[in-house]
Copies of this chain bind each other. A is one copy, B any other.
Amino acid sequence: MIDFRTEPSRYRHWKLSVEGAVATLALDVAEDGGLFPGYELKLNSYDLGVDIELNDAVQRLRFEHPAVRVVVLTSGKERVFCAGANIRMLGGASHAHKVNFCKFTNETRNSIEDASNASGQIWMAAVNGPCAGGGYEMALACEHILLADDGSSAVSLPEVPLLAVLPGTGGLTRLVDKRHVRRDRADFFCTTEEGVRGKRAVDWRLVDEIAPRSRFAEATAARAKALAAKSNRPADARGVSLTPVARRIEGDRIHYGTLTVEIDRGRAAATFTIRGPGAPPPADAAAVQALGAAFWPLAFARDLDDAILHLRFNEGAVGTWVLRTEGDLAAVAAYDALLERESRHWLVHEITLNLKRVLKRLDLSSRTIFSLVEPGSCFAGTLAELLLASDRVYMLDGGFEGDNRPPPRVRLTAMNFGPYRTVTGLTRLASRHLGEAGGAEDAWVRVGEDLDAPAAEALGLATFTPDDIDWEDEVRLAIEERAAFSPDALTGMEASLRFPGPETMESKIFARLTAWQNWIFQRPNAIGEAGALKLYGSGKRPEFDRGRV
């Protein structure tokens, strides 16, 4: 079982140090520290275990070190920056692991950019040695790349010539869409195993700056200082400690503080029951700070994030996620009001950004997402995003016979109109209303109202609204039917329907780039017995089927 929970004292591959406004995160991979047996993590190459620590570091820097304005990503080894994802690990991994590994590493790269762009914690790469493949893709996620100017330090994306796969962690997209490398130069660069160094790397925009070895530390410090001056981070904020996410697995039940997941293997479905806040929100940001990781929105974000990752990696055969909530609409809305009111406070801002990232992770999960809105549920505001992230929503029209709770209602808050934009740059509500003349703005007038099933259906918050008589059969059939379809076809369909409207660099990475990579990860030229990924390091040359498709 893969566990995504870690903390700096347990890191095997990264060294994190903080001095004033500058943090340094040095990659120093333990060769024998692979997550699975069968490969050694040579040359600062990484596997999922290395990336789990990186993801944790990105997160902790934001919450635990609010005074940090610049993060310097560098290598702790003398002669190499990073050789990218470990090839033997990739060669031996299942298709599903490869795909999920790439998705998670992509999400982590995006969270680095989110820290730089939304959170004022600006990442720079101090590339102090050869930097290949996924190593360069890590640097590409930073806002500034400083490359050592010596005989050996080059940046490269050797995947195509060497391994017959793509740079799968956003590299191709970031080259042309973020760094605006001219596409003909990018073509040459991506087919040149040895990469590009020195002045040409700067001229082609592959890096921002070069410095000789003798001046490298000095140049790094100077650049960090200059970037720090651009940050709007608070100077004297106190961090909050991200205490361990408490999880208890009992058979097919997974318990967290704010939610429980129950797996029904027969129907290949997992039901998430999310519990709304049990107490009213604290009065202000200072009180939020005092609560720290126990503050319900943050606790919920971290619990849900862990549950998503756990199910993605450890429960691949569970194809449908059913989302339920229990609690009080008004209580959730009260927390949303606090998030909105205190949105300029660094911690509240971070919590909102964290919720945003977790909701994006949900959108990007290759699982069917159904939501059920029943009596006692609390889909308001932030939790209503779950409805809008769903492939379908079933909402009971009226009550259940013999159940004296009132019929369910849903509620929109201001949080549905901006803070939680998806990878396409649209709000989830706008994604549902692309066809409306007024778009999502029409929904704005209903903010704060308790919406019954017909009203929710009209606003795109519910797909179907069966009554007591039809509810059980309709929901059961929908879930069972889903389990009968091809998981692959559902993945492709959901990836096509979930992201209507515009694309952004971020969404292009998950669509254009990732979908092609997944295809290549299935092709004999990469993974067949004579494929390049399989034969890497064996001394044998791959044999390719030369047909273009």
Q: Are B96 and A547 in touch, CB under 8 angstroms?
A: yes
> Taking the nearest CB of chain B, how far is it from the CB of A367, in angstroms?
6
Please tell me if the beta carbons of A99 and B549 are within 8 angstroms of each other in the complex: yes
Using Cβ atoms and an 8 Å threshold, which residues of chain B touch A161?
481, 485
User: Looking at chain A, what size class is its interface with the partner chain?
Assistant: 35 or more
CB-based contact B187/A497 at 8 Å: yes
A27 to B281, CA, bound (A): 64
Inter-chain contacts of A367 with B (CB < 8 A): 548
- Interface status of A78 (Cβ within 8 A of chain B): no
Contact A191 B485 (CB under 8 A): yes
In the bound complex, CA of A390 to CA of B185 (Å):
11
Contact (Cβ within 8 A) A182 B549: no
Q: Are A526 and B488 in contact (CB under 8 A)?
A: yes
Residue of chain B at shortest CB distance from A434: B180
Chain B residues with CB below 8 A from A166, complex form: 489, 492-493, 496
B188, B190, B481: the one contacting A191 at CB < 8 Å is B481
Contact B545 A516 (CB under 8 A): no
- Which residues of B sit under 8 angstroms from A99, Cβ to Cβ? 549
A472-504 Cβ-contact flags toward B at 8 Å (1 or 0) = 000000000111011111111111111111110
Minimum CB distance partner of A482 in chain B: B191
Hey, which chain B residues are within 8 Å of A357, CB to CB?
A: none
Check A79 for interface membership: any CB of B closer than 8 A: no
For residue A470, CB closer than 8 A to chain B, the reply is: no
Indicate if the CB atoms of B366 and A183 lie closer than 8 Å: no
Assess whether A416 is interfacial by the CB under 8 Å rule.
no
Q: A220 an interface residue at 8 Å Cβ cutoff?
A: no
Given A176-B500, A548-B316, A532 and B486 touching (CB < 8 A)? yes
A496 CA to B497 CA in the complex, in Å?
21
B contact residues around A545 at 8 Å (CB): 487
Q: Is B490 touching A160 in the complex (CB atoms < 8 A)?
A: yes
Q: Does A273 reach chain B (CB closer than 8 Å)? A: no
Q: How far is the CB of A443 from chain B (nearest CB, A)?
A: 13
Contact B496 A512 (CB under 8 A): yes
In the complex, are the beta carbons of B434 and A497 less than 8 A apart? no
**Interface residue A15 (Cβ < 8 Å from any Cβ of B):** no
Q: Bound complex: CA of A548 vs CA of B317, how far in Å?
A: 6
- Nearest CB in chain B to that of A516: its residue: B492
Stretch of A63-71, A374-382, A517-525 lying at the B interface: A517-525
Within 105-132 of A, Cβ neighbours of B (below 8 Å) are at none
Q: Given A512-B499, A512-B515: A523 and B488 within 8 A (CB)?
A: yes
Question: Could you show 22 A-B contacts with beta carbons less than 8 Å apart?
Answer: A96-B547, A96-B549, A159-B489, A160-B485, A166-B493, A173-B496, A177-B501, A180-B434, A180-B435, A181-B435, A183-B500, A184-B390, A184-B392, A188-B463, A188-B464, A367-B548, A486-B532, A488-B526, A488-B549, A489-B520, A490-B548, A516-B518
Query: Does chain B have a CB within 8 A of A310?
Result: no
Which B residues touch A182, using CB under 8 A? 432-433, 435, 460
**A503, B513: Cα distance in complex, Å:** 13
The answer to whether A518 touches B172 (Cβ under 8 A) is: no
Asked if A95 CB lies within 8 Å of chain B CBs, one says yes
Are A549 and B184 also in contact (CB < 8 A) when A166-B492, A176-B500, A503-B502 are?
no
**For residue A334, which residues in chain B have a CB less than 8 angstroms away from its CB?**
none
Contact pick for A172, options B180, B496, B520, CB 8 Å:
B496
* A175 beta carbon closer than 8 Å to chain B: yes
* Cross-chain contact A497 with B549 (CB below 8 angstroms): no
Contacts of A486 in B (CB 8 A): 160, 164, 520, 523, 525-526, 532, 542, 544
- Chain A 370-403 interface mask (CB, 8 Å, partner B; 1/0): 0000000000000000000011110000000000
Q: How far is the CA of A165 from the CA of B496 in the complex (A)?
A: 13
Docked complex Cα distance between A165 and B495 (Å)? 13
Once the chains bind, are B487 and A184 in contact (CB under 8 Å)? Answer: no
Give the chain B neighbours of A308 by CB distance below 8 A.
none
Task: Name the B residues within 8 Å of A393 (CB-CB).
Answer: 184
CB <8 Å contact, A546 and B500: no
Check A511 for interface membership: any CB of B closer than 8 A: yes
Judge whether A354 is part of the interface by a CB distance below 8 angstroms: no
Q: Which residues of B contact A343 (CB under 8 A)?
A: none
Set of chain B residues within 8 Å of A390, measured between Cβ atoms? 184
Q: Is the CB of B160 within 8 A of A489?
A: yes
Contacting B at CB under 8 A, from A399-433, are: 431-433
Asked whether A508 is an interface residue with its Cβ less than 8 Å from the other chain, the reply is yes
Contact B518 A549 (CB under 8 A): yes
Q: Report if A242 contacts B (CB, 8 A).
A: no
**Cβ of A268 < 8 Å from any Cβ of B?**
yes
Are B548 and A319 in touch, CB under 8 angstroms?
yes
Asked if A90 is at the interface of the complex by the 8 Å CB criterion, the answer is no
Q: Is A219 an interface residue (CB 8 A)?
A: no
Contact B432 A497 (CB under 8 A): no
CB distance from A213 to the nearest CB of B (A): 29
Q: Mark A60-101, 1 if CB is under 8 A from B, else 0.
A: 000000000000000000000000000000000001100110
Q: Which residues of B contact A435 (CB under 8 A)?
A: 179-182, 205
Query: A508 — which chain B residues lie within 8 A by C-beta?
Result: 503, 511
Asked if residues A519 and B492 are in contact (CB atoms below 8 Å), the reply is yes
Tell me whether A432 and B516 are in contact in the complex, defined as CB-CB below 8 angstroms, given that A96-B547, A491-B549 are known contacts: no
